[in-house]
Amino acid sequence: MCIANQNYIIQAIDAVLTWDIPDDAVAFAVAEQAKLMAGFDCDQPYLDIQQ
Query: What is the pLDDT, as a whole number, of residue 49?
Result: 47
Instruction: State the DSSP code for 45.
Output: -
Residue 36: per-residue pLDDT = 86
What confidence tens digit (pLDDT) does each residue in 17-32 have?
Answer: 999 999 999 998 998 8
pTM: 0.70
Q: What is the DSSP letter of 44?
A: S
Report percent pLDDT > 90 for the chain. 35
**Average pLDDT score over the chain:** 79
Position 1 scores a pLDDT of 47
Closest CA to 34 of 8, 6, 2: 8
- Please say whether the beta carbons of 28 and 16 come within 8 A: no
